[in-house]
Structure 1
Amino acid sequence: MGIMSKILGGGGNRSVDDYVELDLDDFAEPPGEAGTQVHIAEISDKTDVIAIKDAVYDGDFVIADITRHSTSDRTIEHIIDELRQVADEVDGDIVQKGDDQLILTPTGVSISRQKLE
């Protein structure tokens, strides 16, 4: 199982505490300033959407935890529609992974709908 499969998979509830920061001293050459970032977000209510939209408009990726909402919840339906509109506006992409995550990409980045084998 690849590292992204481990990060995105697992089917359990994840929190920010589940992610560890790697010690860059372990790498031969530290990475330069990142122009694009991957943000981890949690959507508890509609106000959380503002920061997600800002990140995508700024050209960043967002992985959003939606486990606090049922997929039949009208609030999450509205939130997903709003984020889908943002992805369309920036020519990015959005997918829902299972019942617990949304992945949004910035301009010019699409998400494959096929799993790697």
Structure 2
Amino acid sequence: PRRFIDLNDLNFSSDASEIKTTVKVAEIYRYEDIFLIREFVSEGSFVIVDCSKIYKEESLFRNVVEELRRLGKDSGGDIARLGESLIIVTPKGVGIDKQKVRGSLI
């Protein structure tokens, strides 16, 4: 039995004119990569930031997280950690509910 769903088997609308908001995934390799993320957020995109490449460099990781916090605050959006090295930044007017929704165990 298949244990995954092939998204190519599903029929999603692919009309780009219907899309109002995008979610981007950005990898951070150096501090300066934040400037591109700032641009995406200011354009109204959600950005999932993958910090796995810098996670072990504690000082750099801390500085990047602090700058992402400032970005969230300055842009009127929000920021939250999704995991050990994943962070999401939202655009203006979009908040993040920090409480996890937990499914029931069966």
Shift of 1:35: 2.3
Corresponding residue number in structure 1 for 2:41: 56
| Counterpart residue type for residue 106 of structure 1 | P
Q: Distance in 1 between matches of 2:14 and 2:51?
A: 33
Aligned length: 96
The CA distance in 2 between the partners of 1:88 and 1:76, in whole Å, is 18
Q: TM-score, normalised by structure 1?
A: 0.70
Question: 1:35 matched to which residue of 2?
Answer: 20
Q: Which residue of 2 aligns with 1:98?
A: 83
Please report the RMSD computed on the Cα atoms of aligned residues, expressed in angstroms. 2.4
Partner residue of 2:69 out of 84, 97, 101: 84
- Report deviation, 1:57: 1.0
Q: 1:30 to 1:81 in 2, by over 3 A?
A: same
Deviations 1:13-38 (A, max 9, x none): xxxxxxx9x55x824x5454322110
Identity of aligned residues (%): 33
Instruction: State the match for 2:96 in structure 1.
Output: 111
Structure 1 consecutive aligned stretches of length 4 or more whose deviation exceeds 4 Å: none
Say if 2:24 and 2:48, in contact at 8 Å, map to a contact too.
yes
Question: What is the alpha-carbon distance in structure 2 between the residues aligned to residue 71 and residue 104 of structure 1?
Answer: 21
Alignment-mate amino acid for residue 65 of structure 2: I
| Structure 2, gaps ≥5 residues long | 1-5
Q: Given that residues 30 and 54 in structure 2 are in contact (C-alpha distance below 8 angstroms), is that contact kept between their aligned partners in structure 1? A: no
Rg (Cα) greater in structure: 2
